Amino acid sequence: MFKIRRIYDSTLVTNRTAIQQVKQISRKQFPRLNKSAINKITDQLQNPFRHGFRIVLFIAEDAGGDVKGFAILSHEPQLKFCFLDYISAAPKLTGRGIGGALYTRLRQEARLLKTIGLFFECLPDDPKLSRDPIVLKENRSRLKFYEGYGARPIVNTLYETPLNPGDDNPPYLVYDPAGYSRPLRRVIAKKIVRAILEGKYQNLCPESYIKIVVNSFKDDPVMIRPFRYVKKETLQQEIPPIADDQKIILYVNDKHEIHHIRERGYVESPARISVILKGIESTGLFERRRAGRFSEKYIRAVHKSGYVEYLHRMCEKMELGKTIYPYVFPLRNQTRPPLDMPVRAGYYCMDTFTPIHKNVYIAARKAVDCALSGAKSLLEGYRLSYALVRPPGHHAERSAFGGFCYFNSVAVAANYLSEYGRVAILDIDYHHGNGQEDIFYERQDVLTISIHGNPKFAYPYFSGFKDSTGLGIGEKYNLNLPLPENVDGEMYAEVLKKAIKRIQKFFPYYMVVALGLDSAKGDPTGTWNLTAKDFQQNGQLIGSLRIPILVVQEGGYNQKNLGRNARAFFQGLWNSAFIH
């Protein structure tokens, strides 16, 4: 089994290893390829636009992360076309379906980038142009392979004019309209051919040669060679709209229903999950997977052991169906934990509406597992993942629960990812993300940002102030953006842009978004007026960062619009993460 994925950068560990392997394969497979061209791959991913082209790299890798093949595509956004530079499978693996899978992925990308299709060069299958019978045979089978997808050489031009008269094997220019049936207009084709000869062959083609070739395009539309090897009816035209590596990997807490507080007015209800699921399913953007099981040590890395242990033991001890609410809140820093276990709930809690019952530990632990699974997907090379969980987590501090939260799933996942590079946390819940602030307040490798209702009127009241900016080396790595009681989409977007600027300056490798949908119009816990359109815009702005993003579900309690708003957010996020 192998999977195909696009490599977006050379900063992530998994990508660096893959690029190393791509270089090795290309040295073996393209021995005549200029060494500096191979070394340039990394460089070009980091500074993508060169000579008007953006380099796009795809790899085929097996389950162990070994690269079995790769393809390099150049995207020209002005003229809206793609040029295929190289496609290769590792030695001895050619012909095992990897080439076909890679090529299908390239066609998907050409469609996604809204181009008119793929252009590439192929050695000729005409014995007059390819004199060695062995090479000729190879050329024929290659052209036959591409013809199976509808890609055929452009004819009746001088493209296959050898640079040096008499050279063997001058390449054809092949065009694959990537499933479209629009004719290729001459005026466009001429510009594209010039861009290819100037951009791809920089100093090799003299202007006089370029002119001869470009002016030889006389047909309008440009003529494509009739099918020679394949019957038109057997074409592999089907292009799935979304590639596997562009799916948002979804983890849903399947244990969340055991955490059900039946008291009237307890808005954090199990129905929230099914409403969101229903809303996002129809987009086709998600691939649902089972969450893995992670050790408690990841939780203890951000929460105090005493607190984790208390919650675990307290839940175990409780009778099923019983619920306790904390009712004594000793002033911290001066006190010792009360001996009586139910009383001690107040020692670890910050409000009177977040109860403990038998299943709290199991449900919260499972939510953390989902967030960690989502983080792991990013390490594997996926760009977007989503932990659709409850109970939420962003109010849980190092040793305190509250605000319906017990373990801070966002913080656990961010801390896990921070082993692999800088992480930014962006909390867009209506309420301040006090948990992350508390946990990362003295760290500079995890940037914490929260946009929320001003603590003057919004929960948790004691935190979220503008002047809480971090401590020690963490100074300036916590940014609070408190907003007034009435906020619309426009005002929100302005503040979100500020947050994004700060994130860009931080240059994170990964980002975790605490997604609260309680900033929506009509939310019983909020005062703002965001609509589906605003959520789409927010998703779009966040996706424009173009880094791997894990989204973790936090608040959002108006079941009438939860599904619609979640769908809009992810559509915006996906669009700007992949279409550019």
Binding residues for Zn ion restricted to 402-431, rule: CB under 5 A: 429-431
Q: Decide whether 99 or 464 has the Cβ nearer to Zn ion.
A: 464
| Chain centroid offset of residue 306 CA | 36
| Closest distance of CB 431 from Zn ion, Å | 4
Which residues inside 256-295 make contact with Zn ion, applying CB under 5 A? Answer: none
Task: Report the nearest approach of Zn ion to the CB of residue 45 (Å).
Answer: 38
Nearest distance, CB of residue 403 and Zn ion, angstroms: 7
291-311 CB burial, b ≥16 within 10 A, e <16: beebeeebbeebbeeebbebb
358 touches Zn ion (CB under 5 A): no
CB of 567 to Zn ion, least distance (A): 19
Q: At its nearest, how many Å lie between Zn ion and the CB of residue 553?
A: 11
Closest separation in Å from C-beta 389 to Zn ion? 14
What separation in angstroms does the CA of 70 have from each of 67, 73, 87, 320?
8, 10, 6, 55
CA distances in angstroms from 409 to 116, 285, 458, 502, listed in the order given = 43, 23, 22, 23
When asked if residue 555 is in the footprint of Zn ion (CB under 5 A), the reply is: yes
Of residues 514 through 543, those in contact with Zn ion by CB under 5 A are: 516, 518
Binding part of the chain for Zn ion, among 189-197, 215-223, 410-418, 512-520 by CB under 5 A, reads 512-520
| 430/492 with CB nearer Zn ion | 430
**What's the full length of the chain, in residues?**
580
What's the closest the beta carbon of residue 354 comes to Zn ion, in angstroms?
Answer: 13
Q: What whole-number distance in Å separates Cα of residue 5 and Cα of residue 294?
A: 26
Dihedrals phi, psi of 6, to nearest 5 degrees: -85, 140
Beta bridge partners of 520: 530
Nearer to Zn ion, 226 or 265 (CB): 265
Tokens representing 80? 């809206």
The token pair that represents 476 in the structure block: 């300036």
Whichever of 107 and 431 has its CB closer to Zn ion, that residue is 431
Which of 275, 261, 306 has the alpha carbon at shortest distance from 399? 306
Contact call for residues 450 and 427 (beta carbons, < 8 A): yes
In the bound state, the residue with its beta carbon closest to Zn ion is 555
How does DSSP classify residue 486?
-
Nearer to Zn ion, 401 or 430 (CB): 430
Cβ closest to Zn ion, residue 115 vs residue 450: 450
Catalytic residue (one of 75, 357, 395, 452): 395
Q: Tell me the three state secondary structure of residue 154.
A: strand
Cβ(338)–Cβ(390) under 8 Å? no
Peptide bond into 240 cis (omega under 30): no
Min CB(528)–Zn ion separation in Å: 11
DSSP string, 226-272: PPSSS-GGG------SS-GGGSEEEEE-TTGGG----STT----THH
Q: Which of residues 426-445 bind Zn ion (CB under 5 A)?
A: 429-431
Among this protein's residues, is 395 annotated catalytic? Answer: yes
Helix (H) or strand (E) holding 120: strand 118-122
Q: Using the minimum distance from each CB to Zn ion, give the nearer residue, 15 or 519.
A: 519
What x-and-dash track marks residues 160-199 binding Zn ion by CB under 5 A?
----------------------------------------
Which letter does DSSP use for residue 54 in this model?
Answer: E
Q: Does 455 bind Zn ion (CB under 5 A)?
A: no
Query: Site residues for Zn ion, window 325-344 (CB under 5 A)?
Result: none
The DSSP secondary-structure symbol of 290 reads P
Output 308 or 520, the one with its CB closest to Zn ion: 520
Residues interacting with Zn ion, by CB under 5 A? 429-431, 516, 518, 555
Active site positions, annotated = 395
